[in-house]
């Protein structure tokens, strides 16, 4: 494999948005100018065009732009009339916003443990968690790795439950050549700046093949108004603005190329780190396409390795250090330490290494050599 890029010794970030912007700055500025010159900033032609383009990309009939991925999940639940007294099942190791969206919709999160190989929701635990109060399942395609969405859908249909895919980290990921987000009743995406498809602020999208749900979502995101000053249902203010939509239109055209680069970085990590016994590298189904929003390894002496890398100018993060059932915000749900042993054990070992399209092969080699030095310099030094 060709090795490119120089080891300059500069700090390597987990995600360097400034470097990414440098590669697309001209187009971004032209997109912003186009919107400013139009004088129309909310619910206009740019959003309509982006919704159509994103729906086509995902393979859904409808896409509805909203203010964030979190509110996308909340609005999807509201569109399905899931609320007070209802339970919604999701993975215990996901980001806090997944559960907060459920709470914001008025429902109660119910957590399940994870598959220790893929880190995604465990199908076996899913069916055991269903009760008479369960109304929906929110499976998470964590880190850009598709969950067993086929298994989730089978269980959901068996029990008459709605499915809202949390695809907030999985733009472009697929299972059996079908894009995630298009399997469930609805799918939610985030355009937070660090995402594979990120804007320059907050933003989100909900996709669905159900025209009635799409129409309801369009009401819900705009106070429940079908026309100005005419409120048909209770809604909220959650709209993707024209500037963000215009920027995202340009970035969507680059998404597959950027995802391809992320996959190349992941392969290089795999080649360079596979013989280190203290590490376990990402695992995914051969029928799925992982888009590596994050490159998360499981490792021994995690905190010591993290400190060592930082001293050598390499930033890492932990996604996520505390499972949801142990967060103070969810104390009232009655969970205790030990309820989800696989997620708890995983949280003490996972570490996120840098992965973003502008990361060079040379920088990846520098990271890998540093990891190898930490583990007593065993194995070959890479060049």
187-230 residue pLDDT tens: 999 999 999 999 999 999 999 999 999 999 999 999 999 999 99
What is the sign, positive or negative, of the torsion defined by CA atoms of 218, 137, 71, 17? Answer: negative
Answer whether 139's CB lies under 8 Å from 51's CB: no
Rounded to 5°, the CA angle 78-79-80 comes to: 90
* Domain assignments of the chain as residue spans, ordered by start: 23-112+119-252, 255-374
Residue 252 half-sphere exposure toward CB, CA atoms < 13 A: 18
State yes or no: pLDDT of 119 exceeds 50: yes
- What is the predicted pLDDT for the residue at 377? 65
Sheet order of strands, 62-66 included: 62-66, 204-208, 186-190, 162-166, 134-138, 87-91, 108-112
Confidence category of residue 382, pLDDT binned at 50, 70, 90: low
Which of 205, 173, 242 is CA-nearest to residue 76?
205
Residue 160 and residue 163: Cα distance in Å, rounded?
Answer: 10
Averaged pLDDT for residues 282-311: 96
As a whole number, the mean pLDDT across the chain is: 95
Q: What is the pLDDT of residues 229-269, one digit of tens each?
A: 999 899 999 999 999 999 999 999 999 999 999 999 999 99
- Number of DSSP helices (H) and strands (E) in the chain, helices first: 12, 15
Second CATH level (architecture) for the domain 255-374: Alpha-Beta Complex (3.90)
- What is the predicted pLDDT for the residue at 7? 44
State yes or no: pLDDT of 10 exceeds 90: yes
Second CATH level (architecture) for the domain 23-112+119-252: 3-Layer(aba) Sandwich (3.40)
Q: What is the pTM of this model?
A: 0.95
Confidence category of residue 379, pLDDT binned at 50, 70, 90: very low
Angle between helices 361-374 and 302-311 (to 10 degrees): 130
Which range has the worst mean pLDDT, 93-97, 129-133, 373-377?
A: 373-377
Averaged pLDDT for residues 139-144: 98
């Amino acid at each position: 494999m060709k090795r490119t890029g120089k080891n300059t010794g500069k700090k390597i970030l987990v995600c360097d948005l400034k470097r990414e912007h440098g590669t697309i700055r001209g187009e971004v500025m032209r997109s912003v100018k186009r919107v400013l010159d139009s004088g129309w900033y909310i619910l206009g032609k740019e959003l309509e065009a982006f919704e159509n383009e994103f729906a086509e990309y995902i393979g859904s009939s409808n896409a509805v732009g909203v203010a964030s991925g979190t509110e996308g999940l909340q609005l999807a639940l509201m569109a399905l009339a899931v609320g007070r007294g209802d339970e919604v099942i999701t993975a215990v190791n996901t980001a806090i916003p997944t559960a907060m969206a459920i709470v914001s919709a008025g429902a109660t999160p119910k957590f399940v443990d994870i598959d220790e190989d893929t880190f995604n929701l465990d199908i076996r635990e899913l069916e055991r968690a269903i009760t008479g109060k369960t109304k929906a399942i929110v499976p998470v395609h964590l880190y850009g790795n598709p969950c067993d969405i086929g298994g989730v859908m089978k269980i959901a249909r068996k029990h008459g439950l709605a499915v809202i895919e949390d695809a907030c980290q999985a733009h472009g990921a697929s299972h059996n050549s079908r894009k995630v987000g298009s399997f469930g009743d609805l799918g939610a995406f985030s355009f937070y700046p660090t995402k594979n498809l990120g804007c320059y602020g907050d933003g989100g999208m909900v996709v669905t093949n159900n025209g009635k749900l799409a129409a309801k979502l369009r009401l819900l995101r705009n106070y429940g108004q079908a026309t100005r000053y005419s409120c048909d249902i209770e809604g909220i203010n959650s709209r993707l603005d024209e500037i963000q939509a215009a920027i995202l239109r340009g970035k969507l055209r680059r998404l597959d190329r950027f995802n391809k680069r992320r996959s190349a970085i992941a392969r290089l990590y795999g080649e360079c780190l596979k013989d280190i016994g203290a590490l376990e590298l990402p695992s995914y189904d051969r029928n799925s396409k992982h888009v590596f929003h994050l490159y998360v390894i499981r490792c021994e002496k995690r905190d010591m390795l993290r400190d060592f890398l930082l001293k050598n100018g390499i930033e890492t993060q932990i996604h996520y250090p505390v499972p949801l059932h142990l967060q103070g915000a969810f104390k009232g749900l009655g969970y205790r330490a030990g309820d989800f042993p696989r997620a708890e054990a995983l949280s003490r070992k996972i570490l996120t290494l840098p992965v973003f399209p502008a990361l060079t092969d040379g920088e990846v080699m520098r990271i890998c050599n540093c990891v190898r030095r930490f583990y007593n310099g065993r194995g070959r030094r890479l060049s």
